[in-house]
Structure 1
Amino acid sequence: MYMALNQITTLCLAVTLFLIGSFLVKRIGFLNRYCIPAPVVGGLLFAILATTLKSMGIVEISLDTSLQSIFMITFFTTVGLGASFKLIKLGGKLLVIYWLACGFLALMQNVIGVSLAQVLGLHPLLGVMAGAVSMEGGHGAAAAYGQTIEGFGVSSALSVGMAAATCGLVAGGLVGGPVVQHLIRKFNLKPAMEETEEYVEKDERPVTEKSFMVQVFLITFCMALGTFIGEWFSNLTNFALPGYVGAMFTAVIVRNIVDRINPHAINMKEIGLIGDISLGIFLSMALMSIKLWEVANLALPLFVIILAQVIFIVLFAVFILFRALGKNYDAAIMVSGFLGHGLGATPNAMANMSAAVGKFGPSQKAYLIVPIVGAFLIDVFGMPIIITTINLFK
């Protein structure tokens, strides 16, 4: 039996799975503890169900995920619109060091992924999917780049990326706590005595129809201009540049131009809401369309690559980054955040840091720097490194 869901039904299913995932994350301790995203939970459950039904010969379900790219580009555009240069100035030298470390990590994750993929007899681009794409990039980047790489004829790239991103999320949550406790106890670290005010970009303006439409205009303008520039650049240079990359960097430029003209024009509360909804639907669609049977035979090599990624980031964070950041309490807390989003996502980083500061004391510097870099600055280095690696091995 064959069942084909149209565009609207697929969208409805994606939203339903997102809500189911949210329900389960709130009620299952493991999912909540390791910050597993709701759309990942709901989408994977459906993928498992679809795989089971297909393998038993009951029904094969076909999905129309043509709307997925729109939500994907929308999300990355909202990330770009959050990249205010004023935030970078507040972080100072430590932010730059942390930022450079994230760029180096992205490079090394691709080196590890591609090298081990070739040793294990896999296509190098599958190594990229188990590298910076899924580790630093998380599920959002895995879904986005997975589509791009499958467009080059590398089957199961999306499935490999999603599987690696899920393992990375769990690993990031598992190693963060033990590492920060080791550093704090070994060096007898204490929080700084002086009180500093935590900077958080707050926007308390009410959501209105007019202000919301202004944000929608800014997002769609950046999407339109960015995708046009991306296509033009790709055609001119024969260098694969996905549309969402052009949209995100266009949004960064627009954000900082608008900040100079009218600092109150952009409402990050509304931009964030649009971004969260877009990401939820985008990930639900990406996860529920995974063909799990394609990655079953890749389980062992994928485990080897991810294990190598975890070992490298822990060693780098403990022996290099911790010392570069000052070898103090704030550095230890930032290391826990680095492990969180270096293997998973920014929520992982915040969860790691929250657990640490709840036990050992506050770290305002960590709470300023890690979210700023993990939320959007990381892509400034990560995207060019990933795209260049993809073009080297496509």
Structure 2
Amino acid sequence: MEGRGVHAPLAERDPHDAGSEAPRGRVMEGRRPAMTIAVPGGLVVFAGIGMPAAALNLKLNTLHVLALAAFGVAMGLWLKGRLKVLDRLNIPASIAGGLVYALLALVLRDRYLNLEMEMSLRDVLMVAFFTTIGMGASLGLVREGSRQVARFFALATLGAVLQNLLGIALARLFGLDPLLGVISGSVALTGGPATALAFGATFEKLGVAGATTLGIASATFGITAGGLLGGHVGAGLIRRHGLKAGAAGLRPARAETIRAEEASGEERSALLDSVVAVAIAMGIGALVSAGFERSGAILPSYVGAMMAAAALRNLDDRFGFAGIAPRHVETIGNISLYLFIVMALLTLRLWELAALALPMLVMLAAQVALVWLLCRTFSFRLMGRDYESAVMAGGFCGFMLGTTANAMACMDVLTQKYGPAPRAYIVVPVVGAFLIDFTNALVITAAMNMLR
């Protein structure tokens, strides 16, 4: 059955795109049969069916892919150290390194080298990352910001819904599949690269060819735009309304918790307890996701794990039986996310973007305008029209167009120049890093089920 979006028909699609499996059947005209050469360490190099005579096919197993991903992270860190613009725009090191791989795959494809990779570990790392996000959703953190957290959370959820509605409307205006509007909406922007990669396979099952590529391209655009606009929006509000910082106040409770953990002298035990808790939540989550699948609901594989992790975290906060250490959970999540993103970008099909370049650019520009409007009006006014509200508006722009890291970087720029904003440093991370991922997954899932 022909899929959705702009893509080649199945019969014409290149069977040797990165990450795909070679088909069986007749030898295409003008191409030579496969010639396989075994290489020590499990690599298999051959000139494949359906490729020019000069092109080789390189098959990588799980360990090879893991090594490439780790090197990609290191390469991204090196690039950020050498190219300061990447650091100023808050481009994650994993995206910087992974995009290098994606560009190499684009240049080498069908001319010199094609890659076939075993990607089972990528899916495990994706679930591990979102499990740590769920484990960070402590009701105690939510209570610290009370009404401010609730207001900011409601605004972020509304923003995700509006992003999808705008994206769907523009996609239909261009005569495209409306699901493309969801991908370039809250999937890539509110969700960021990890959500775009996680949902990509689900959208592709619904017939949207190149959904993962479109998602990560949109997310990269959003990260860049959010990094450029967040600090500018906040500073503009501060200057326009003549706002001043209040007393420094207390640091967020999360920082105190981290220092207490560092002073405990039980780092190894706490790390092991956290790893065990994450693994157990992943296992329980797999059972929950299987139940959702049997009921016919379309959900990404990580949602069950997020729910299980959130329940386990709050039970541990109440009874203290699991020994979950937030700092170690965050470390586990960061490692999983970095490796996962590079692995996903290893199979990014950049050549699938050409036909959608202009429509996607218009759609993303409209999304930036929407978030800018929400920051300048609704966010600032809803959060109190004071200095901290302006800082939160900058943070809102950061994570609604990119990632929580973007939001924190935007707020850091503002507080270093204008003074501390302790309330903003509680509200924005709680909503941007934890709460919005839950509702965004529901918003995306609802849109998929309505449009499929």
TM bin (shorter chain): over 0.9
Q: Distance in 1 between matches of 2:81 and 2:449?
A: 41
Determine helix, strand or coil for the equivalent of 2:185.
coil
CA contact (8 A) 1:113 1:131 kept: yes
Q: 1:344 Cα shift? A: 0.3
Query: Where does residue 222 of structure 1 map in the other structure?
Result: 281
Q: Which amino acid aligns with 1:71?
A: L
Structure 1's 197 and 66: CA in aligned 2 closer, same or farther, altered over 3 A?
A: closer
Matched, 1:88 2:142: yes
| Distance apart, 1:263 and its partner CA | 7.2
Q: Call closer, same or farther: CA 1:362–1:211 in 2, change over 3 Å.
A: closer
Q: Are 1:141 and 2:195 counterparts? A: yes
Aligned to 1:353: 411
Cα displacement string for residues 160-187 of structure 1 (whole angstroms, at most 9, x for unaligned residues)? 0000000000000111122112111111
Describe the shift of the 1:213–1:181 C-alpha distance in structure 2 as closer, same or farther (beyond 3 A): closer
Aligned to 2:175: 121
- Per the alignment, residue 80 of structure 2 pairs with 25
Q: Name the SS for the 1:35 alignment partner.
A: coil
Matched residue, 1:294: 352
* Alpha-carbon shift at residue 264 of structure 1 (Å): 7.4
Deviates more, 1:72-81 or 1:378-387: 378-387
In structure 1, distance between residues paired with 2:178 and 2:118: 29
Q: Do the aligned partners of 1:207 and 1:270 also contact (CA within 8 Å) in 2?
A: no
2:166 maps to which residue?
112
Alignment of 1:236-315 (within 5 A): 236=295, 238-262=296-320, 265-315=323-373
1:343 correspondence with 2:401 = yes
Give 1:3's match in structure 2, choosing from 58, 61, 65.
Answer: 58
Deviation at 1:121, TM superposition (A): 2.1
Relative to 1, partners in 2 of residues 1:207 and 1:35: Cα closer, same or farther, differing over 3 Å?
farther
Aligned-pair distance for 1:207?
A: 5.6
Corresponding residue SS for 2:360: helix
Q: Which has the greater radius of gyration?
A: 2
Deviation at 1:213, TM superposition (A): 2.8
* Inter-partner Cα distance in structure 1 for 2:265 and 2:162: 44
1:194 and 1:43 mapped to 2: Cα distance? Answer: 39
Residue in structure 1 matched with residue 240 of structure 2 by the alignment: 186
Distance in 2 (CA, whole Å) between partners of 1:322 and 1:293 is 40
Is the alpha carbon distance of 1:264 and 1:214 closer, same or farther for their aligned partners in structure 2, counting shifts above 3 Å? Answer: closer
TM-superposed CA distance for 1:262, in Å, is: 0.8
CA contact (8 A) 2:134 2:306 kept: yes
Structure 1: distance between partners of 2:359 and 2:265: 50
Structure with more helix by fraction: 1
Q: Tell me what 1:233 maps to.
A: 292
Which amino acid is 2:90 matched to? C
Distance 1:41 1:197 in 2: 32
1:326 to 384, 393, 405: 384
Indicate the structure whose relative CO is greater, using CA pairs within 8 Å and at least 6 residues apart: 1
Partners of 2:248 and 2:278 in 1: CA distance: 40
What secondary structure sits across from 1:4 in the alignment? strand
- Percent identical pairs in the alignment equals 38
The alpha-carbon deviation at position 198 of structure 1 amounts to 3.3
Whether the 8 Å contact between 2:248 and 2:420 is mirrored in structure 1 is no
Deviation of 1:212 (Å) = 2.8
Structure 1 window deviating more from structure 2 (278-287 vs 262-271): it is 262-271
Structure 1 residues 325 and 144, CA gap change in structure 2 (3 angstroms): same
Give structure 1 regions of 4+ aligned residues with deviation exceeding 6 angstroms. none
What is the alpha-carbon root mean square deviation over aligned residues? 1.5
Q: Which runs of 5+ in 1 are unaligned?
A: none
- Contact 2:223 / 2:403 at 8 angstroms: preserved in 1? yes
Alignment-derived partner of residue 173 in structure 1 = 227
Give the 3-state SS of the residue equivalent to 2:302 in structure 1: helix
Q: Which residue of 1 aligns with 2:15?
A: none
Contact 2:273 2:322 in 1 (8 A): no
Equivalences, count: 392
Give the Cα separation in 2 of the matches to 1:96 and 1:380.
Answer: 14
- Point out the more displaced range, 292-301 or 196-205: 196-205
CA distance in 2, matches of 1:197, 1:158: 39
Residue 75 (str. 1) matches residue 75 (str. 2): no
1:112–1:309 Cα contact (<8 Å) kept: yes
Of 144-153 and 195-204, deviating more is 195-204
Aligned residue type for 1:227: A
* Partner Cα separation in structure 2 for residue 184 and residue 155 of structure 1: 44
Q: Gaps (5+ residues) in structure 2? A: 1-55
Aligned to 1:2, the other structure's residue is in SS state: strand
CA distance 1:259–1:25, change in 2 (3 Å): same
Provide, for residues 108-150 of structure 1, a one-character-per-residue CA deviation record: whole Å limited to 9, x for no partner. 1111112211211222222111010110100000000012111
